[in-house]
């Protein structure tokens, strides 16, 4: 069985922040889409921005895990 260290690589902090941004972004985006609230557009935009921002952390995680 693989441990958490082997699964996340050498830069676990970037992976965890990226996963957190993904989870929060998806939750906020779905809240804006599905919940009957008057400020739905704010939640949709913030959720989409968090999902886009998480891509930055995924790129950092991938880049710092490349073995030269």
Number of domains in the chain: 1
Q: How far apart are CA 66 and CA 64, in angstroms?
A: 6
Structural domain span for residue 17: 12-65
The tokens for 33 are 């889409």
Q: Over the stretch 3-38, which tens digit does the pLDDT of each residue have?
A: 656 677 888 899 999 999 999 999 999 999 999 989
Within a domain: 21:
yes
Within a domain: 3:
no
Which of 18-22, 38-42, 64-68 has the weakest average pLDDT? 64-68
Within a domain: 50:
yes
With a CB cutoff of 8 Å and minimum separation 6, the contacts of 52 are none
pTM of the model: 0.82
- pLDDT computed for residue 4 by the predictor: 59
Q: Over the stretch 44-63, which tens digit does the pLDDT of each residue have?
A: 999 999 999 999 999 999 99
């Amino acid at each position: 069985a693989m441990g958490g260290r082997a699964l996340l690589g050498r830069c676990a902090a970037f992976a965890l922040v990226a996963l957190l941004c993904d989870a929060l972004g998806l939750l906020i985006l779905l809240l804006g889409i599905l919940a009957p609230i008057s400020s739905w557009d704010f939640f949709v935009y913030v959720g989409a921005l968090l999902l886009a921002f998480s891509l930055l952390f995924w790129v950092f995680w991938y880049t710092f895990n490349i073995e030269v």
